[in-house]
Structure 1
Amino acid sequence: MSKIIIDYVDADETTLECDVTTSRDLERFFSTESFRTEYDVSIEDVPEGILVIPVLAQVCPVAWANGADVYVDEVDETFASALSAVQESLCSMHDFLEGGTLYAKETVDVQPDASGESGLLFTGGVDSTCSYVRHREEEPTLISIRGWTITPDSADDEKWDHLRSRTTSFAQEHGLETSFVESNMLSFLAHPMLLAHYKRHVDGAWYSSVGHGLGLLGLCAPMAYARGMDDLYVAATHWEGIDLEWGSRPDIDDHVRWAGTQCHHDSYDLTRQERLDAIAEYVDDEAPSLQLQTCNVRMDGNCGECEKCYRTAVGLRLSGLEPTDHGYDFEHDDYREIRTALEEGRWVLGQDERYMWEDIRERTLEADPSSVAEAAFFAWLEEADLDALVADAEPPLSHRLLRAGARNTPARVYNTVYPAWKSAKGSFRREQAK
């Protein structure tokens, strides 16, 4: 019988550590690492029923993908109920998920020590900044997480320093508190093996398509309990009318809760352009020097040349803001570069980007261009076949063969070979780009 057992949960000052045991068929999906998360507030007095939430939030989707059951000594009854609702939503979204049952020796009615605080997962991008703007009267604690897009590896130390610095500066300027969470959740899971088995079922990677809504929110549970947070917000990526298989959606995040804390998938009622409108109104009223950080290339500012930088700059102009005032070097001549890059397929675009350029296109139909270059770009975008601009999402044959082979390869072999192969491929690409 397929199963995952949470057999050790410990809190030492600010560090959470958990160990799991699995049936042999699931061993390949877990590394030899213990699950560890570091907080910046003491979690020693947090009940075990809450302490177990971060590891459950990572392992349960893996269990559901394999029809496995999960066993734990103690869990908060509010979160146990939430897991059932999240499981139903994820299984409805992904056909390959089979489901499973959570078995607890004791389901505990943990009593919260709520203080009326709120928290917001924050990066400084369009979505999380819009969520701050909408909830600024609550003075939410800004929460930045290391473990997904910024890994715990020392190679990412500089990126993490930049994110911490940006979040801290924003918080100081707005009289807010911060919270920084660091976890090994993706190296605790054998993420390469999860990709090998399930990449063919999803548009993105495992964590983006399946795990990150429940995973990131659940990671915050001990900290939120210790701080007495009533509400925890995660900004929406998509909006109403976009039905993509994505791991963070209202029908996932709004179900997540534990004693004293309710999570919220925020600003789903606004398109990305409307979120920029909300930011523009806030800039006009209160924050004329507000800086955004959305770049896919850099963490210490925006490169101004990647697809996301250009897309954000165009969106800012459509909302009445000058991009150069808010972190983006942008000139009207850049419209020609955007069109060329889109037509030549220089950027790998997915359905996310197609919807976002469609959102921009709808706004351009109402806009009055301020230059010949802008007018020409708007006219081109109105007629552009956005579906044709979206690159084929299927990975190269070499990737598909590697993952197919991995499904019949011993986990210890694949988990060693895949990172080395990936590093070699990255080095080759960098050399080719010089």
Structure 2
Amino acid sequence: MSSIVIDRVHADGTTLEADVQTSADLERFFGDEPFQTEYDVSIEDVPEGVLAIPVLAHVCPVAWANGADVYVDEVDETFANALSDVEESLCAMHDFLEGGTLYAKETVDVEPDASGESGLLFTGGVDSTCSYVRHREESPTLISIRGWTITPSPSDDENWTHLRNRVTSFADDHDLETAFVESNMLSFLDHPMLLAHYKRYVDGAWYSSVGHGVGLLGLCAPMAYARGMEDLYVAATHWEGIDLEWGSRPDIDDHVRWTGTQCHHDSYDLTRQERLDAIADYVREEEPALQLQTCNARMDGNCGECEKCYRTAVGLRLSDLEPTDHGYPFAEEDYREIRTALEEGQWVLGQDEKYMWEDISERARETDPESPAEAAFFEWLERADLDDLVSESGPPLSHRLLRAGARNAPTKVYNTVYPAWTSAKSGLRRVGR
């Protein structure tokens, strides 16, 4: 019988550690290290049932993909019920998920010391900044997480420093508190092997398409309990009418809860362009020099040349803001660069980017262009077949063959050839982001 056993959950000051044992058939999906997460607040007084939430939030989706059961000594009763709801949503979304059962020796529901605080997962991009604008009266604690797009690897130390500095500066300017969380969740899980097995079923990667909604929110549980947070917000990527198989959606995130805390998938009622409109209203009313950070290429500013930078700059213009005032170098000739990049497939695009460019195109039809270059680009965008642009993008054949080989290899063979797999996995991860 396939199984995952949470052997030990331990808090030492600000550090959480959990040991996990699996049945032989699931070993390939886990690394050799224990699950570890570092917070910036003591978690020693957090109940064990809440301490178990971060590791459960990451192993349960793997279990559900394999029809496996999960065993733990103690779990928060509210979160156990939440997992059942999340499992139902994910299994309805992904046909390859089989589901499983969580077995706990004890379920607990301890009365929290709630203080009425709220928290917001925050990067400074369009989505999380819009959520701040909408909930600024609550003065939410800004939460930044290292472990997914910024890995625990020393090679990402500089990127983490840039993110911390940017979020801290934003918090200081707005009289907010911060919370920084660092975890090895995607090296504790063998994410490349998960990708090898399940990429064929999803548009993105394992974590983006399956695990990151419940994973990132669950990771915050001990910190949220220690701080007395009653509400925890995660900004929506997509919006109503987009039915993509994505790991963070209202029917996932809104189910996530534990004793004292309810999570919220925020701003799903707004398209990305409407989120920029909300930010633009805030800029005109309160903060003319607000800076955004969305770049795919760097963390210490916006390169102004990647797909996301160009897409954000065009969106800012459609919301009557000048991109250069908010962190994006942009000139009229850049419209030709965008068109060329899209036509020649220079960017790896997924279905979500397609919907975002469609959102821009729909707004452009209602907007008078400011220049001939802008008018020409929007006329082309309206005629362009964005489905073709997406279908012509994708990972190289060599990556697809590598995933197939890893998927079919026995565990012992896989462990022998793991260095070759590791050398390729950085490229595979970028596709999923």
TM-score by length of 1: 0.96
Give the aligned partner of residue 260 of structure 1.
260
* 1:268 Cα offset (Å): 0.2
1:252-296 deviations in Å (ceiling 9; x for gaps): 000000000000000000000000000000000111110000000
Confirm or deny: 8 A CA contact 1:361 1:378 kept in the other structure: yes
* 1:18 Cα offset (Å): 0.1
CA shift in 2, pair 1:225/1:165, >3 Å: same
**Residue 203 (str. 1) matches residue 182 (str. 2):** no
Confirm or deny: 8 A CA contact 2:64 2:87 kept in the other structure: yes
Confirm or deny: 8 A CA contact 2:50 2:222 kept in the other structure: yes
Q: Counterpart of 1:188 in structure 2: which amino acid? A: F
The secondary structure found in structure 1 opposite 2:408 is coil
* 1:400 Cα offset (Å): 2.2
Give the aligned partner of residue 168 of structure 1.
168
In 1, Cα distance between the equivalents of 2:166 and 2:363?
A: 30
In 2, Cα distance between the equivalents of 1:367 and 1:185?
A: 44
In 1, Cα distance between the equivalents of 2:189 and 2:426?
A: 22
* 1:410 Cα offset (Å): 3.7
* 1:401 Cα offset (Å): 2.1
Q: Counterpart of 2:307 in structure 1: which amino acid? A: E
Give the aligned partner of residue 44 of structure 2.
44
In 1, Cα distance between the equivalents of 2:33 and 2:353?
A: 36
Confirm or deny: 8 A CA contact 2:349 2:394 kept in the other structure: no
* 1:375 Cα offset (Å): 1.2
The secondary structure found in structure 2 opposite 1:407 is helix
**Residue 10 (str. 1) matches residue 43 (str. 2):** no
1:168-220 deviations in Å (ceiling 9; x for gaps): 00000000000000000000011111111111111111000000000000000
* 1:420 Cα offset (Å): 3.8
Q: Counterpart of 1:406 in structure 2: which amino acid? A: A
1:396-432 deviations in Å (ceiling 9; x for gaps): 32222222222232435535645544536979xxxxx
* 1:367 Cα offset (Å): 0.6
The secondary structure found in structure 2 opposite 1:390 is helix
**Residue 388 (str. 1) matches residue 402 (str. 2):** no
1:22-71 deviations in Å (ceiling 9; x for gaps): 11111111111000000000000000000000000000000000000000
CA shift in 2, pair 1:223/1:346, >3 Å: same
CA shift in 2, pair 1:219/1:419, >3 Å: farther
Give the aligned partner of residue 98 of structure 1.
98
Give the aligned partner of residue 431 of structure 2.
none
* 1:307 Cα offset (Å): 0.7
Give the aligned partner of residue 315 of structure 1.
315
In 2, Cα distance between the equivalents of 1:265 and 1:244?
A: 15
**Residue 134 (str. 1) matches residue 134 (str. 2):** yes
In 1, Cα distance between the equivalents of 2:399 and 2:257?
A: 38
The secondary structure found in structure 1 opposite 2:233 is strand
Give the aligned partner of residue 230 of structure 1.
230
What residue ranges of structure 1 are gaps of 5+ in the alignment? 428-434
Give the aligned partner of residue 240 of structure 2.
240
In 2, Cα distance between the equivalents of 1:258 and 1:237?
A: 23
Confirm or deny: 8 A CA contact 2:238 2:271 kept in the other structure: yes
In 1, Cα distance between the equivalents of 2:258 and 2:321?
A: 40
* 1:337 Cα offset (Å): 1.1
| 1:45-124 correspondence to structure 2 within 5 Å | 45-124=45-124
| 1:22-33 correspondence to structure 2 within 5 Å | 22-33=22-33
Give the aligned partner of residue 283 of structure 1.
283
In 1, Cα distance between the equivalents of 2:401 and 2:309?
A: 33
The secondary structure found in structure 2 opposite 1:110 is coil
Give the aligned partner of residue 377 of structure 1.
377
What residue ranges of structure 2 are gaps of 5+ in the alignment? 428-433
Moved segments of 4+, more than 4 Å: 424-427
Q: Counterpart of 2:408 in structure 1: which amino acid? A: N
In 1, Cα distance between the equivalents of 2:416 and 2:91?
A: 31
CA shift in 2, pair 1:426/1:133, >3 Å: closer
In 2, Cα distance between the equivalents of 1:83 and 1:382?
A: 42
* 1:392 Cα offset (Å): 3.7
In 2, Cα distance between the equivalents of 1:395 and 1:331?
A: 31
Give the aligned partner of residue 35 of structure 2.
35
1:237-266 deviations in Å (ceiling 9; x for gaps): 000000000000000000000000000000
* 1:395 Cα offset (Å): 3.2
Number of residue pairs matched? Answer: 427
1:341-368 deviations in Å (ceiling 9; x for gaps): 1111111111111100000000001111
1:52-108 deviations in Å (ceiling 9; x for gaps): 000000000000000000001111100000000000000000000000000000111
* 1:388 Cα offset (Å): 1.6
In 1, Cα distance between the equivalents of 2:166 and 2:39?
A: 18
The secondary structure found in structure 2 opposite 1:87 is helix
Higher mean C-alpha displacement, 239-248 vs 21-30: 21-30
In 2, Cα distance between the equivalents of 1:425 and 1:7?
A: 29
Confirm or deny: 8 A CA contact 1:193 1:411 kept in the other structure: no
Confirm or deny: 8 A CA contact 2:50 2:76 kept in the other structure: yes
TM-score by length of 2: 0.96
Confirm or deny: 8 A CA contact 1:304 1:328 kept in the other structure: yes
Identity among equivalent positions (%) equals 84
* 1:229 Cα offset (Å): 0.1
| 1:396-407 correspondence to structure 2 within 5 Å | 396-407=396-407
CA shift in 2, pair 1:93/1:422, >3 Å: same
1:296-323 deviations in Å (ceiling 9; x for gaps): 0010000000111000000000001000
Give the aligned partner of residue 145 of structure 1.
145
Higher mean C-alpha displacement, 168-177 vs 369-378: 369-378
The secondary structure found in structure 1 opposite 2:124 is coil
CA shift in 2, pair 1:426/1:205, >3 Å: closer
Q: Counterpart of 1:115 in structure 2: which amino acid? A: S
